[in-house]
Structure 1
Amino acid sequence: MREFQQLDKDGKFKKIPEYPEFAWLEGVVNAVVHRDYSISGDYIRVSMYDDRIEFSSPGKLPSIVTVDNIRETRFSRNPIIARVLTDFGWVRELNEGVKRIYLDMEAYFLEPPLFSEPGITVKLILKNNIAMRAVRKLEAIKGVVSEDVWNELDSLEQNIILYVANIKNCTPKDLIELTKKSRKSINIRLKNLVEKGILIDHSSSRRDPTKFYTVGK
């Protein structure tokens, strides 16, 4: 799974997983526990796309369970498998895992899980918010750097711009900690970005300990 950087309340970036770990793991476990093993010639599939992950399991939903009541209704097609995996800590009590998927997706500000029954398959779709991350990225650099100039920058320079745009009074030390790059690499990029007018150097001298950077206007 991919990880992304998100600015926390302290003005520091922290790693945020693309999906809640419990949600995608429960998607795999549910596909194994609740598939219809009387169906041959098909298999469980996990498909990853840029904006979502899909879990497909052969067979329709068991007994009284529907896509509309799956969050509240308890039923297991394969109780022995469910009990064994519960004993090993892989499965929660009946349907508790589905409820947790909903809660975790909500906690991550993601869309609710989408259950469906295309044909004789049960499908679960978890959507990420890559599109919104892209929007926030564009907003951070809007009016500061043109698309052509942006594409000419290396990945470290691009990340530096985004960090500076999101952190108040961003210092070289902040950038070294966030990027895990050497002071020399950071200073070279900062100098280049200042010369291009993309960043503004707020310091009274080269060795000013209070030096920080902001994006240009």
Structure 2
Amino acid sequence: ALVNAVAHRDYRLRGRGIEIRMYTDRLEVTSPGGLPAHITLDNIVDEHYSRNPRIVNGLYQWGYIEELGLGIDRMIEVMEQAGHQPPHFDARPYSFAVTLFNEREKPKPPDWMRNTNHRQAKALQYIREQGSITNREYRQLCEGVSAETLRLDLVDMVEKGILIKVGSKKGTHYILK
């Protein structure tokens, strides 16, 4: 982001330099001058244009740029490889900003996890650790909740295809599908 800012800033604008702001969760690099020529936020990955070809060539010769025209592509690729969310680009008439987020994207829970209540989530955690759960174990896990509510929780998870009911009556236990 910083090399791109040096390569593509509008040096005709006086009184402002490249701004780098570092926060615990992100890095913001703002460059004076809006996007050059025909470049927009919609085509920034596909289109390439150099406002300062001599500076770009120097940065390339000195090894700061691996390949011409791939700065934005490389930023996106590196952030993705590191497990971070993609950079955020903000284009204004007299500035362009890139925000690189430090926090890794949290994996989305599977659909079945999003459709369970907190008691059911406890049961699923218990099953992951113990291998199975009985109605009695579930009641001990969720003290203060009626036996009927807990029975319906287990029936619901079986109907959703999350659990498999094994056995019958007092020998019944539940395992992950």
* Distance (Å, rounded) in 1 between the aligned partners of 2:32 and 2:100: 18
Give, as a single letter, the amino acid of the residue that structure 1 aligns with 2:65.
V
With normalisation by structure 1, the TM-score equals 0.46
**Which residue of structure 1 lines up, in the alignment, with residue 80 of structure 2?**
106
Tell me, which stretches of 5 or more residues in structure 1 are unaligned? 1-26, 133-217
Deviation string for 1:155-177 (max 9, x for gaps)?
xxxxxxxxxxxxxxxxxxxxxxx
* Distance (Å, rounded) in 1 between the aligned partners of 2:10 and 2:67: 20
Residues 138-149 of structure 1: matches in 2 within 5 Å?
none
Contact between 1:63 and 1:75, CA under 8 Å: does it hold in 2? yes
How many Å apart are 1:131 and its aligned residue?
9.0
Deviation string for 1:47-78 (max 9, x for gaps)?
00111000000001111111121112111000
**One of 28, 33, 51 as aligned partner of 2:7:** 33
SS in 1 for 2:76: helix
Tell me, which stretches of 5 or more residues in structure 2 are unaligned? 107-177
Deviation string for 1:111-168 (max 9, x for gaps)?
1111111341000000111796xxxxxxxxxxxxxxxxxxxxxxxxxxxxxxxxxxxx
**Which residue of structure 2 lines up, in the alignment, with residue 50 of structure 1?**
24
**Which residue of structure 2 lines up, in the alignment, with residue 73 of structure 1?**
47
Show structure 1 runs of 4+ deviating over 6 A.
Answer: none
Rate the CA distance shift 1:131–1:51 in 2: closer, same or farther, 3 A.
farther
Rate the CA distance shift 1:74–1:29 in 2: closer, same or farther, 3 A.
same
Aligned residues: 106
**Which residue of structure 2 lines up, in the alignment, with residue 118 of structure 1?**
92
* Distance (Å, rounded) in 2 between the aligned partners of 1:131 and 1:111: 6
Contact between 1:51 and 1:130, CA under 8 Å: does it hold in 2? no
Rate the CA distance shift 1:89–1:129 in 2: closer, same or farther, 3 A.
same
With normalisation by structure 2, the TM-score equals 0.56
* Distance (Å, rounded) in 2 between the aligned partners of 1:67 and 1:116: 8
Verify: 1:93 aligned to 2:67, yes or no. yes
Rate the CA distance shift 1:106–1:121 in 2: closer, same or farther, 3 A.
same
* Distance (Å, rounded) in 2 between the aligned partners of 1:61 and 1:115: 11
